[in-house]
Amino acid sequence: MHITDPVADMLTRIRNANVVYHEMVDMPLSKLRLEMARILKEEGYIRNYKTITDAKQPMPILRLTMNYGPQKERVIQGLRRISKPGRRIYVGKDELPKVMGGLGIALISTSAGLMTDANARKLGLGGEVVCYVW
């Protein structure tokens, strides 16, 4: 199966799992998805992630463990893909976005790798705005 936009596919899988309170969500593994999962875990949006290689599966799998509050409150309130394959959005170091007034994060693809808007601001880097998470 060929996916045109793997980032949008990942965000949609997370959004769908979040709506119905699934404990885990699986998706095909890629370096970009693995980096996004690492950042989401560091920021507390997901509980954990792991890669699964199985002889039955032709492709390795990335499994995310979703995070919810004590009374089933959703930690992830929203996800939005910003830069799309048909229209790439790039920002300079002085134009980095603040999501929900600083309550959310923007994932930025920079020359130093994928990072949050806060880290890019600290390092003085701009890049492609991949998505917003709040």
**Are 86 and 114 spatial neighbours (Cβ–Cβ below 8 Å)?**
no
Answer yes or no: do 55 and 90 share one domain.
no
Instruction: Please tell me whether residues 90 and 49 are part of one structural domain.
Output: no
pLDDT bracket for residue 2 (50, 70, 90) = confident
Range of the domain at 69: 6-74
| Res 56: pLDDT | 81
Q: End of a domain among 25, 49, 74?
A: 74
124 versus 56: which is more confidently predicted?
124
Residues 15 and 52 in one domain: yes
CB 113 within 8 A of CB 35: yes
Over the stretch 30-73, which tens digit does the pLDDT of each residue have? 999 999 999 999 999 999 999 999 888 788 999 999 999 999 99
Q: Is there a domain that residue 1 lies in?
A: no
Q: Each residue of 71-115: pLDDT tens digit?
A: 999 999 999 999 999 999 999 999 999 999 999 999 999 999 999
- Decide if 92 is inside a domain: yes
The CATH number covering residue 124 comes to 3.30.1490.10
Phi-psi region of 6 (alpha: psi -120 to 50; beta: other; left: phi over 0): alpha
pTM of the predicted model as reported, rounded to 2 decimal places: 0.93
Residue 112 CA to residue 134 CA, distance in Å, equals 23
Are residue 63 and residue 27 in the same domain, yes or no? yes
Please check whether residues 37 and 90 belong to one and the same domain. Answer: no
